[in-house]
């Protein structure tokens, strides 16, 4: 099968770009806070895929190491993000982004 | 004889701040109420200690240079930026103590978060490879998100945290993608290696150009450049005033300083990036100033002014590929110092002058206040004169160095726009002074309570700093 349908690094890079694009589109268009948080995670993990691919292509492990760092940072970010959402939910009882507009001008 | 490894001594400020942050987290858990009371004093002491280390390192003859296999670099530029971040954190620490008492929100973890943010700033300004850069940026930002939403029962503060968080992570995504593409093109992460690689010229240019564009977008979000600035006024306005002081000075100093190093030392931007940076500079200055013109709240005016000042910094950065790296870094560092003194002072002044829940911070509320509270009025007037760029103040010298750098390298049109923008900005800064001194109070004639000793020292430090900074011999 491999010879019929070879998967090259380019495929991974295109996939990574697509997933990153989905993440960005999700952040820009969605109104539900949780979906936005998931989209942010999606974007970060798409970049991880790029790092792994480049690491394989370049033949050194630095890219793998970076991915470990990014995974840890993304986990910390998810914690802080969810904490902020919970704090907001306690005040407003909603997770709809459009309803948070006390800061304007 | 120095028997300690250089890695330990040259990074001592960082170790102090990281250790202090972890200790402060435990302090309240172990000592309870006593720990909570001791937290601001301990945090302040540690910051002063770290500042002492930075000054000692600055006074050394030779600089340690790259450490940890080039992951960090300790040179005059990074040490100067460390000093500015410490100044900002110390001022924030002093402003916070009375502010948090008034808002009845005193906890120990506030100061732990403050020190964690500072350790992120240190990592960021020391970074000499992309991994350290990213980790430092995130360490700083994560602590800053929490600090922005610190008053979690107030809708404004929490909402500011949400906006800051979402746009911050979004920007990190772009930045990281840019780093990934650069890594893919070059296979290296250290700034000098990348520079070497780019100078050889054997690379696929679409990949590198896409990476550069993504990095500029990342910078745009983090430094609040128009058109990526949407979050900044809301966040600086919604966050507690002392935190706004930290976000608009320390965090910005670290981010802008590190990006300057990145573009000047790693990227060595080719000439065709000058127009892109110049356009960002013009947009940021002009829209920042226009936004500030119509504000009624002084705090929100300062938030927009922060955007405009990022624009002035971009004027200098536009010359990144033309000017020698040393000159650029010196001008940027001096501007950041001047900006930190005047902006942190102004936000701290607002924090002290406001009522509970940050009421009474509009131009109208300050009518005649300068005559009734002469010392406090004088301090605010000084900060405003400096922000407007009046002659003997640090704000003037900062702009002078930046604009001169751009002028020396042929960016005349850009400098003209910048000077015109400075004139426009004088209107809203001087409006504060007019309110303070030239308008009689309507109704109740409020007098500001006399600030405690530590606050007086902080205000005086900013005020004298604003007057003296332009005449000091800069360390490099």
pLDDT digits (tens, 9 = 90+) for B433-463: 999 898 887 777 777 788 888 899 999 999 9
Token pair belonging to B216: 């500029």
Instruction: List B67's β-bridge partners, or say none.
Output: B72
Query: Whose CA is closest to A89, among A100, A79, A78?
Result: A100
Domain contains B476: no
Reported as a single tens digit per residue, the pLDDT across A53-81 is 999 998 889 999 999 999 999 999 999 99
Report yes or no on B411 lying in a domain.
yes
Smallest Cβ distance to B238: which of A66, A91, A103?
A: A103
8 Å CB contact of B135 and A73: yes
Domain membership flag for residue B87: yes
Taking a contact as any Cβ pair under 8 Å apart, which residues of chain B between 351 and 380 contact chain A?
none
| Contact B149/A at CB under 8 A | yes
Q: What is the DSSP letter of B4?
A: S
Q: Where are the alpha helices (DSSP H) in B354-450?
A: 369-372, 374-388, 394-408, 412-438
Q: pLDDT band at residue B324, thresholds of 50, 70 and 90?
A: confident
The pTM for the full model equals 0.93
**ipTM of predicted assembly, 2 dp:** 0.93
Cα B101 to the chain's mean position, in Å? 25
- Domain covering A9-99, topology: Helix Hairpins (1.10.287)
pLDDT tens digit sequence for B379-411: 999 999 999 998 889 999 999 999 999 998 888
- Domain ranges in chain A? 9-99
Measure the CA–CA gap between B121 and B144, rounded to whole angstroms. 11
B134 touches chain A (CB under 8 A): yes
Considering only CB atoms, which chain A residues are within 8 Å of B181? 50
Instruction: Name the residue range of residue B53's domain.
Output: 4-471
User: What is the sign of the dihedral through the CA atoms of B463, B467, B469 and B470?
Assistant: positive
Q: Do A77 and B142 touch (CB under 8 A)?
A: yes
CB within 8 A of A36, min separation 6: which ones? Answer: A26, A27, A30, A97, B166
**Most confident listed range (B277-281, B322-326, B470-474):** B277-281
**CA B146 to chain centroid:** 17
Q: E strands of B270-320, at which residues?
A: none
* Domain count across chain B: 1
Q: Does a structural domain hold residue B188?
A: yes
* A67 touching chain B per CB within 8 A: no
């Amino acid at each position: 099968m491999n010879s019929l349908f070879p998967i090259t690094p380019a495929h991974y890079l295109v996939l990574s770009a697509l997933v990153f694009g989905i993440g960005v589109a999700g952040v820009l268009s969605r109104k539900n806070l949780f979906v936005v948080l998931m989209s942010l995670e999606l974007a970060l993990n798409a970049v991880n895929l790029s790092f792994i691919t480049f690491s394989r292509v370049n033949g050194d492990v630095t890219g793998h190491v970076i991915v470990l760092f990014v995974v840890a940072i993304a986990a910390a970010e998810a914690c802080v993000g969810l904490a902020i959402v919970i704090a907001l939910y306690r005040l407003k009882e909603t997770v709809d982004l459009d309803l948070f507009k006390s800061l304007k001008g | 004889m120095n028997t300690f490894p250089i890695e330990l001594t040259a990074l001592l400020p960082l170790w102090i701040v990281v250790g202090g942050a972890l200790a402060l987290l435990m302090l309240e858990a172990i000592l309870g109420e006593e720990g909570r009371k001791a937290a601001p004093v301990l945090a302040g002491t540690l910051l002063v200690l770290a500042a002492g280390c930075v000054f000692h390192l600055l006074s050394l003859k030779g600089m340690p240079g790259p450490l940890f296999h080039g992951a960090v670099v300790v040179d005059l530029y990074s040490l100067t930026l460390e000093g500015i971040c410490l100044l900002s954190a110390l001022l924030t620490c002093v402003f916070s103590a009375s502010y948090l008492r008034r808002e009845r929100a005193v906890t120990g973890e506030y100061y732990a978060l403050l020190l964690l943010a500072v350790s992120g700033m240190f990592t960021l300004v020391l970074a000499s490879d992309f991994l350290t850069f990213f980790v430092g940026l995130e360490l700083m930002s994560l602590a800053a998100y929490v600090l922005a939403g610190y008053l979690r029962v107030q809708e404004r503060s929490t909402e500011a945290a949400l906006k800051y968080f979402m746009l911050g992570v979004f920007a990190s995504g772009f930045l990281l993608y840019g780093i990934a593409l650069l890594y893919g093109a070059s296979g290296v992460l250290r700034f000098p290696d990348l520079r070497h690689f780019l100078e050889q010229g054997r690379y696929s240019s679409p990949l590198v150009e896409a990476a550069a564009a993504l990095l500029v977008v990342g910078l745009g979000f983090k430094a609040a450049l128009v058109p990526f600035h949407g979050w900044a006024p809301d966040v600086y306005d919604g966050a507690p005033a002392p935190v706004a002081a930290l976000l608009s000075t320390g965090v910005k100093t670290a981010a802008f300083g590190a990006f300057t190093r990145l573009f000047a030392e790693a990227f060595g931007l080719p000439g065709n990036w000058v127009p892109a940076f110049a356009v960002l500079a013009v947009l940021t200055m002009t829209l920042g100033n226009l936004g500030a013109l119509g504000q009624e709240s002084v705090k929100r005016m300062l938030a927009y002014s922060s955007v405009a000042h990022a624009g002035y910094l971009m004027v200098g950065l536009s010359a990144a590929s033309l000017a020698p790296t040393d000159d650029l870094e010196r001008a940027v560092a001096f501007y950041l110092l001047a900006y930190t003194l005047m902006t942190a002072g102004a936000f701290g002044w607002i924090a002290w002058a406001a009522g509970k829940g940050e009421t009474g911070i509009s131009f109208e509320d300050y009518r005649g206040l300068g005559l009734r509270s002469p010392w406090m009025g004088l301090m605010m007037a000084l900060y405003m004169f400096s922000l407007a760029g009046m002659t003997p103040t640090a704000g003037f010298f900062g702009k002078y160095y930046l604009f001169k750098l751009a002028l020396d390298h042929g960016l005349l049109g850009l400098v003209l726009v910048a000077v015109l923008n400075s004139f426009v900005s004088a209107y809203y800064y001087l409006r504060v002074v007019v309110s303070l001194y030239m308008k009689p109070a309507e109704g109740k004639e409020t007098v500001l309570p006399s600030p405690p000793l530590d606050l007086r020292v902080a205000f005086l430090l900013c005020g004298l700093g604003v007057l003296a900074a332009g005449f000091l011999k800069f360390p490099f």
